Amino acid sequence: MSDRDGKLREYREKRDFDKTPEPGPAAPAPDGEEEQRPRVFVIQKHDASRLHYDFRLEVQGVLKSWVVPKGPSLSPKDKRLAVMTEDHPLAYASFEGSIPEGEYGGGAVIVWDHGTYRNLKLDDTPPQTMPEALASGHVLVWLEGQKLRGGFALIHTAGRRPGDEDNWLLIKKSDERAQPGSDIVGERPESVVTGRVIEDVKGGA
Ligand code: MN
C-alpha cells in the first residue's frame, strides 16, 4: 500500500463509491519539488446534517481538510473554528453535486471558492515545508482564490479542553487583502464554478 493509500484509508472506509458521486481515492498526484509550485486550495460549502464549509489544501498528493462551521472571513478579528477531518483525494477539489441522503456526508456540495496557495512558512528561517508547518500546529498560507485572497493562518489550538485534539482556528492576516467588518460568506453564496447556490443543488437544478 502506498503512502497516499494510507492517508486516504479513512476517506475510503467512510464511503460507498457505488452510491456516492464523490471521487474515489485512486487519482495519482505529482511528487517532487511540490513546495515550490503553486498548489490547489478549495472551499466547499456543504449542506450536510449541519451546514458547513470544508477548507482543503493540497499537501503531498492529498487534500488536508478542515470543517469550518461558520466559513472563512476576510476580517482579521474573526477567529473561525476549523476542525481537522480526514484527508481527501486531490480529485475532490472539483466535486460539486449531491451526496445521497443516508450516505456519509449526505447533502449538497458546491465549490464556494478555489484557486492556488503558497506556503508563506517557506520564507521563515529556517524554512518550513507544509508537513512541517502542519506538525508544528502553525500554518501560514497566501491564497489566490476568486473570493479569498491574501494571508491566512491556521493555528492548532488543541489541548485546552478534552476532545479538542482536532481543533484549529482559521484567521485572516492583517494585510492589503483584509476586509475588516466584511461578511464574504453572506455576500457571495454562489459556486465559483457554476454560479449555483446550495439550494439549487439541493433542488437538483
Ligand atoms: Mn463536509
Per-residue pLDDT tens over the stretch 95-142: 999 999 999 999 999 999 999 999 999 999 999 999 999 999 999 999
- Please say whether the beta carbons of 44 and 132 come within 8 A: no
For residue 3, tell me if it sits in a domain: no
- Please say whether the beta carbons of 46 and 54 come within 8 A: yes
For residue 13, tell me if it sits in a domain: yes
Q: How far is the CA of 176 from the centre of ligand 1 (A)?
A: 30
Per-residue pLDDT tens over the stretch 30-79: 545 788 888 999 999 999 999 999 999 999 999 999 999 999 999 999 99
Q: How far is the CA of 147 from the centre of ligand 1 (A)?
A: 19
For residue 87, tell me if it sits in a domain: yes
For residue 1, tell me if it sits in a domain: no
Domain that holds residue 102: 9-202
- Taking CB atoms within 8 Å and a gap of at least 24, the contacts of 183-190 are 183/73, 184/71, 184/72, 184/73, 184/74, 184/147, 184/148, 185/53, 185/70, 185/71, 185/72, 185/73, 185/112, 188/147, 189/45, 189/112, 190/110
For residue 135, tell me if it sits in a domain: yes
Q: How far is the CA of 40 from the centre of ligand 1 (A)?
A: 18
For residue 112, tell me if it sits in a domain: yes
Q: How far is the CA of 140 from the centre of ligand 1 (A)?
A: 22
For residue 183, tell me if it sits in a domain: yes
What is the count of structural domains for the chain?
1
Q: How far is the CA of 181 from the centre of ligand 1 (A)?
A: 26
For residue 23, tell me if it sits in a domain: yes
Q: How far is the CA of 159 from the centre of ligand 1 (A)?
A: 24
Q: How far is the CA of 125 from the centre of ligand 1 (A)?
A: 35
